[in-house]
Amino acid sequence: KHCLPLQAEHKMPTHRQCTIEFENKYTCFPSVFIKSGFCEKPMPPTISPSESGSALFIKTPKTACGSVGVLTYDLQKGSKQQYDGKLAIMFSNPYDFNLYSNWFAVGIFDMNKQCDAKLYDEMYNKPEIKFVRSKAKDLSLTHKGETVTIRATMSDIFLNVYTQLLVPETQ
């Protein structure tokens, strides 16, 4: 599914949404797979070093589904034709906290990794090989790649905020 702004934030209030914010990174070409909900505010197409950007994912109103999905960004080297891999972020903000919990994961994959249901399933259910995953309990995750370290946090509430910081490995 593609991230299409629907301007629903003010028209259809919901209590399950996930804001993803990025800072200090060198990325471009975002892709999104949404298992449930929709993307109210898409990520910017590129985020240069020392810039920031954000996206807002919201549950579909009047449904018993949360805001769940995965997004990727290409990690761009200094040259616009070279890439260090694909940053992937999985988020799950479920409808029913009696049955499910907020989960999140971050990792760096090869450039050929597709942003799709298979990637979501891998990051939500499979063993952690190229990523780290955790329940959101105000816990911080750190994943070290060859060129960047990803630090992420996710709150354990209905309207959670998920923040991400990429730091070049030389720091």
Q: Identify the pLDDT of residue 73.
A: 85
- The contacts found for 80-84 with CB under 8 angstroms, 24 or more apart, are 83/111, 84/108, 84/145, 84/146, 84/147, 84/148
- For residue 45, the domain's CATH number is 2.60.270.20
In a domain, 79, yes or no: yes
Length of the chain: 171
Model confidence over 43-70: pLDDT tens digits? 877 777 777 778 888 888 888 888 899 9
Model confidence over 103-149: pLDDT tens digits? 999 999 999 999 999 999 999 999 999 999 999 876 788 998 887 88
In a domain, 12, yes or no: no
Dist CA 19 CA 28 (whole Å): 19
In a domain, 9, yes or no: no
Domain count for the chain: 1
Dist CA 153 CA 134 (whole Å): 10
Dist CA 133 CA 107 (whole Å): 9
Dist CA 169 CA 158 (whole Å): 34
